[in-house]
Amino acid sequence: MESVQAIKQRFGIIGNNDKLNRAIEKAIQVAPTDISVLVTGESGVGKESIPKIIHQLSHRKHNKYIAVNCGAIPEGTIDSELFGHEKGSFTGATQTREGYFEVADGGTIFLDEVGELPLTTQVRLLRVLENGEFLKVGSSKVQKTNVRIVAATNANMFQSIEKGTFREDLYYRLSTVDIHLPPLRERQEDIHLLFRKFASDFAMKYKMPTVKLSDAAVQVLLKHRWSGNIRQLRNIAEQISVLEHNRTISAEALKAYLPTSASNLPAVIKTSKSESDFSSEREILYKVLFDMKSDLNDLKKLTLELMKNGNAKDVEKNNESLIQKIYGNTDEEDYEEAVEDDVLSIPEQTIVTPEISNKPDKYHFAEEIEEEETLSLHDKELELIKKSLERHDGKRKLAAAELGISERTLYRKIKQYDL
């Protein structure tokens, strides 16, 4: 078994951090087996190095190694990319295609950003992990594959599971062994070492002298948070190597390349709602309830006036603002029908009237009182419609005009009463 130092030299890994060394040790230990591995860590920490180490140290090293960026493949085509498709299975499938799992049979597949996989693809992947079986898109023939799966993600998988965007059973099948790579801010002793390596590489690439940092610039380099990790550090080193004429970089010159919005202070993350948040939510809820009861009070007032007056046109004219508040913006005919239905559809039952309450609350609610005499609006309505139709020889348009309702409402009433 090769040593950690030998592996770092072989794969170009720079750094002596204990957490980094432990991650490489785990990769060396699991490489001879076929168990699934999940590599976790922030974006830019170099997660793609671990599956290469695992593949090269395994018995599969002479077979295919395929790296797939799951986040870069559109959702509609990812099943075809991974598992292949049959000719004619969908529009554009002009010929049968082998997927990555078929091509990499006997080798290793690295699924980068596995947390971006659609749920339907996760089900297919789970089947491959459980029994090595898969179906091509558009095929009913079960195929077998013998691949080693190494996955990587920068997402919090437990949060994804809680949100329902990632299957819990698939997570535990992928993470038989979890290898975590530390962020660059936790590898302070490696930051300057990495910068010097990048500066040397870019000096050779662009055929110019190597840039060096002053002591003050080194301190600035170490204190920066490096949210983009190694990828960000490499980018800064390349910019400085190309743009700076002075090959000794001062602290001020280095700061010009660092994002000004980055903060070295720990971020305060709000994990739970405070009491004031709940209080604010309660106030909003109470206001909504009071507004609803106030609207109900207005509706009762309007209904009573309609019942007493009996003429929808006059009520509409006298209570235009109130009707607008209750029924909102409608076209003229629907607006007329809404008001008329309130007149013609009130059953013979409790009559509602607004009454001011003596409660100290600023909101007053209508109380229901029952009149001594019960009015049969149903019979009155039926009688009026019959008389009007007889007077106009069954002509609905003239009868509707006399009754003060729309022809459509009258037609509905005729059907309702089976006239």
What pLDDT band is residue 380 in, cutting at 50, 70 and 90? confident
* Of 170-179, 206-215, 409-418, minimum mean pLDDT range: 409-418
Question: Percent of the chain, pLDDT > 90?
Answer: 58
Side chain identity at 406, as an amino acid letter?
S
- Looking up tokens 């006059």 gives 314
The average confidence (pLDDT) of the chain is: 82
Helices (H), 73-167: 78-83, 100-103, 119-131, 157-163
Please give the structure tokens belonging to residue 397: 């348009």
β-strand 352-353 against 367-368: which pairing, if any? antiparallel
Task: State the architecture of 4-182 in CATH terms.
Answer: 3-Layer(aba) Sandwich (3.40)
Query: In 10 A of CB 279, how many CB atoms?
Result: 10
Q: Which pLDDT belongs to residue 310?
A: 61
Please give the structure tokens belonging to residue 184: 């660059």
* Of 33-37, 144-148, 210-214, 308-312, minimum mean pLDDT range: 308-312
What pLDDT band is residue 296 in, cutting at 50, 70 and 90? confident
- Read off the pLDDT of residues 219-254 as tens digits, 9 standing for 90 and up: 999 999 999 999 999 999 999 999 999 999 999 999
* Of 34-38, 212-216, 287-291, minimum mean pLDDT range: 287-291
Domain residue ranges of the chain, discontinuous segments joined by +: 4-182, 185-255, 279-417
Question: Distance between CA 58 and CA 55 in Å, rounded?
Answer: 5
Q: Using alpha carbons, list the distances in angstroms from residue 126 to 64, 120, 151, 159, 179.
A: 21, 10, 13, 19, 20
Q: Which pLDDT belongs to residue 398?
A: 85
What pLDDT band is residue 419 in, cutting at 50, 70 and 90? confident
Which has more pLDDT, 394 or 350?
A: 394
What pLDDT band is residue 30 in, cutting at 50, 70 and 90? very high
Question: Distance between CA 13 and CA 196 in Å, rounded?
Answer: 13
Q: Which pLDDT belongs to residue 226?
A: 95
Q: Which pLDDT belongs to residue 401?
A: 83
Q: Which pLDDT belongs to residue 364?
A: 45
- Read off the pLDDT of residues 155-166 as tens digits, 9 standing for 90 and up: 999 999 999 999
Average pLDDT of span 79-103: 91
Q: Which pLDDT belongs to residue 392?
A: 82
Contact 79, 124 (CB under 8 A): yes
Q: Does domain 185-255 have CATH number 1.10.8.60?
A: yes
Average pLDDT of span 305-312: 64
Please give the structure tokens belonging to residue 295: 């609207």
Q: Which pLDDT belongs to residue 128?
A: 95
Question: Distance between CA 388 and CA 403 in Å, rounded?
Answer: 7
Question: Distance between CA 152 and CA 321 in Å, rounded?
Answer: 62
What pLDDT band is residue 23 in, cutting at 50, 70 and 90? very high
What pTM was computed for the model?
Answer: 0.62
Q: Which pLDDT belongs to residue 314?
A: 64
240 phi, psi to nearest 5 deg: -65, -40
- Read off the pLDDT of residues 197-208 as tens digits, 9 standing for 90 and up: 999 999 999 999
